[in-house]
Structure 1
Amino acid sequence: MNRLFPVWRRCAAVWVTGGLAAVLSVHAYAQAPTQRPAQSATQSPTAWTTSWSTALQEIPRIAEPPPLYQAPAVAGRTVRQIIVPTLSGTTTQLRISNRYGTRPLTIAGVTVARSAAGAAIEPGSASVVTFGGKREVVLGPGMEMDSDAIPFKVTRGAPLTVSVDAGSDAVMQAWHRIAGRVSYVSSEGRHAGDIPAAAFNVRFTQYAWITRLAVSGEHKGGLVAIGDSITDGLRSTFGADRSWPSELSRRLAAAGATPMAILNTGISGNRLLSGSVCYGDSLESRFEHDAAELPGVHTVVVMIGINDINFSSMPARRGLDCDTPHKVVSADDLIAGYRRVIATAHRHGLHIVGGTITPAALPPAREAIRLKVNEWIRDGRAFDGVVDFDKALRDPAHPDRLKTSFDSGDHVHPSDAGYAAMALAAEGVVPGAKR
């Protein structure tokens, strides 16, 4: 496999609680073997660092899904998606995934280009992506594949367009449901090389198939944020890339910090302990694939648990019940799950930071669980560091609620200003960040 991981790593852990920072020593851990590697199209000694990533979730497989869960028709068409790299490089690699597919996925061609307005690309900027020297690739069910090295310059923060010509029988079976931006599907035919947007007459707001962009060279590595909708950036301004990891990336660039990737593998609705037909595998079960195994990553920030606490109280629904299982969890259940995630991170030699669960105007019994979990995250010393997102966002007069200016309006998800405040709090856990 075309990836290099250090066998050990020594980091400084910064605890950010109440605005005070104390530096702790974190000892090295041996790397665990990769359990589900993707196939590489080439076997070169290139060291890759992930520059952009997203996490997939299975699309509910029911006969008549509600419109929110209906994927666009893609057979014999081109799917065009826009991604924003967080690390520059002169050589690039893409990963395509059929991770949750139950049937083979045929890709007839892929290009990467510099984005112009909407679905258009800049003339002369497109590069063909190959897999083992071939443009067409067939991925069996559950299979993922890394492309050949692409001689394509990537600039941090400059949007890229990835165009995928889907095979004549292709079906979208998985996606990242809350992409926070528009993606496009063309009319019938292969349009990956099209410069104008004219052929791309269908819009959707998910990511599909392309799950990772990596760059080569000597870099400082990467930090990956993994969690639920509050990491995913739900209810931030659509199309503005205002999740807290994206805000953190911009803050570091503006501060002149040594370039480092800031990655987001949050999934809206995700839980620590339970998977969902709508909201993806549990964070515990997907942590290795979606965080620990990303090339070049040395730090992980985990923020999860509010949906575990809340979903037990959601009413059961006929047909598609996204909140099932309606499992009642205790603070001790969540703490045990956190400990298992921490152990996985340490087996991979990663520095793992815990984010406290933010206020959500919970009823007393559920609020007691949140408070107990947060107390353990702050004081349990099981994580290598802590970001106190709870303190960053709560209303000092009503600590069970978000500060009004940080509330998007649903009393759970932050506003753009709230996500910016989370990025400020998280800046302290980034190795070498200027503060």
Structure 2
Amino acid sequence: MTFGGKPAVSVPPGGEIDSDPVRVAISAGMPYAVSSFMGREQKLIAWHRVSSQVNYLSMPGNHAGDASADAYRQRITQFAWVTGVQVEAPSSSTIAAIGDSITDGMRSSLNQNRRWPDALARRVAQSGDKSVAVVNLGISGNRLLTDSPCYGDALASRFGRDVLAQPGVKTVILLIGINDINFAAMPVHGGLDCDAPHTQVTADGLVAGYKRVIAAAHARGVRIFGATLTPAALPPQREAIRAEVNQWIRTSRAFDGVVDFDAALRDPADPTRLRRSFDSGDQIHPSDAGYSAMADAIPLQPVVGGLK
């Protein structure tokens, strides 16, 4: 792999760079390994915390070319260094799933690809359409309106870089806001407080943020579907904000369409909570079955049909 024809590259803090194209045979649905070597002076200061996937660190030395697993003794469950692989397919298009830990797939089964964007990708492939890709741009802990020292830039700020700059994106599914509602009530921690700032939000504030994202998508000719916020066993004041936001998502017609994840996951006996079979155990994040139900709730024809 080369970068501008050179075998090595320096990337400034906060920056990213694409490699030169690499000709390699690929098969749909197969896993691929990308190995890279970092210099002695390089420190890992940013990474994707929730990968739901085992990744490997080697023993000292340059083992990027090793086909054997012998040198890779340490396992981690974070993504580091590589943020994505782009495949040249001029006639294809992309659905971008963006949001927080529920899009990231937190508490889904390790190495099983059971996040809801994975399940959506399988639904699209099973429909016979091989020209549509699904990319997962969820970040655990991410908020719509507020940056975090641990969970990245606010979605409203990162939307252009993380979504609109992706090649081939024509449709977005947006699920974000539950952390904005919750983090104001989290206890303040000494030292690094990942939930800071503990910003109070209102339904009107979240709606204003959604409108910013919708306007950015439409300015680039990208369709955007709004997903309702899923049940999280919230206390009454916070639950009232979630309910008001969901009502706006369903009825405002500001989005190009609605994905009702709330209706798909809620317990009929108590709509403020996840159905037991869809709860991973923390009352917020779905189980594998819950993530599958989310993918099944996406109206495939409006989402995929509009890509043609």
Give the TM-score taking structure 2 as reference length.
0.96
> Residue type of the partner of 2:191?
G
Q: For 1:166-203, what per-residue CA distance to the aligned partner results, in whole angstroms no more than 9, with x for missing partners?
A: 11211111111101111111111111111111111122
2:210 alignment counterpart: 338
Q: Which amino acid aligns with 2:67?
A: I
1:210 matched to 2:82? yes
- In 2, the alpha carbon distance for the partners of 1:240 and 1:345 equals 31
**Structure 1: stretches of 5+ with no match in the other structure:** 1-128
Task: Check if 1:144 corresponds to 2:16.
Answer: yes
Quote the residue 1:316 is aligned against. Answer: 188
Distance of 1:389 and 1:225 partners within structure 2: 13
1:159 aligns with 2:31: yes
Give the Cα separation in 2 of the matches to 1:315 and 1:163. Answer: 40
CA distance in 2, matches of 1:196, 1:427: 43
- Distance in structure 1 (CA, Å) of the matches to 2:304 and 2:113: 23
Question: Which of 363, 370, 373 is equivalent to 2:235?
Answer: 363
Contact 1:176/1:207, CA 8 A, preserved across alignment: yes
**Separation (CA, whole Å) in 1 of partners of 2:227 and 2:55:** 31
How far the C-alpha of 1:341 sits from its partner, in A, is 0.7
- Give distance in 1, aligned partners of 2:131 and 2:290: 24
| Paired position in structure 2 for 1:378 | 250
Q: Which has the higher helix share?
A: 2
Out of 395-404 and 225-234, give the one that drifted further: 395-404
1:68-127 residue CA offsets vs partner (Å, 9 max, x unmatched) = xxxxxxxxxxxxxxxxxxxxxxxxxxxxxxxxxxxxxxxxxxxxxxxxxxxxxxxxxxxx
How much is the aligned-residue C-alpha RMSD, in angstroms? Answer: 1.2
Separation (CA, whole Å) in 2 of partners of 1:251 and 1:353: 17
Instruction: Report matched runs for 1:380-395 at 5 Å.
Output: 380-395=252-267
Q: Which runs of structure 1 show a deviation greater than 3 angstroms over 4 or more consecutive aligned residues?
A: none
Distance in 2 between residues matched to 1:391 and 1:220, nearest whole Å: 31
| Letter aligned with residue 171 of structure 2 | T
- Cα distance in 1 between the residues matched to 2:271 and 2:188: 30
Larger radius of gyration: 1
Residue number in structure 1 paired with 2:275: 403
Count how many residue pairs are aligned between Structure 1 and Structure 2. Answer: 305
* Alignment partners' CA distance in 1, 2:161 and 2:59: 34
Q: Which has the higher strand share?
A: 1
Q: Distance in 2 between matches of 1:250 and 1:338?
A: 28
Q: SS of the residue aligned with 2:103?
A: helix
Alignment partner, residue 241 of structure 1 = 113
> 2: CA distance between counterparts of 1:156 and 1:219?
16
For 2:186 and 2:15, the matched residues in 1 are separated by: 35
Residue 266 of structure 1, aligned match among 118, 138, 145: 138
Give the conservation status (yes or no) of the 8 Å contact 1:257–1:432: no
The answer as to 2:165 corresponding to 1:297 is no
Report Cα offsets for 1:186-235 as digits up to 9, x if no partner.
Answer: 11111111111111112211112211211113333000100000000001
Q: Which residue of 2 aligns with 1:201?
A: 73
Percent of aligned positions with the same letter in both sequences?
56
Asked if 2 retains the 8 angstrom alpha-carbon contact of 1:298 and 1:351, the reply is: yes
* 1:350 and 2:205 matched: no
Alpha-carbon separation, structure 2, partners of 1:411 and 1:217: 40
- Structure 1 CA distance for aligned equivalents of residues 262 and 280 of structure 2: 16
Cα distance in 1 for partners of 2:304, 2:134 equals: 12
| Aligned: 1:133 with 2:1 | no
Residue aligning to 1:78:
none
Matching residue's letter, 1:374:
N
Letter in 2 for 1:430: V
Q: TM-score w.r.t. structure 1 length?
A: 0.69
Q: Quote the Cα distance in structure 2 between the aligned partners of 1:288 and 1:377.
A: 21
Cα distance between partner residues in 2 of 1:228 and 1:304 = 6
CA distance in 2, matches of 1:157, 1:326: 41
Partners of 1:386 and 1:163 lie apart in 2 by: 39
Structure 2 unaligned runs (5+)? none
Give, in angstroms, the shift of residue 427 of structure 1. 4.3
Partners in 2 of 1:224 and 1:331 — Cα distance? 25
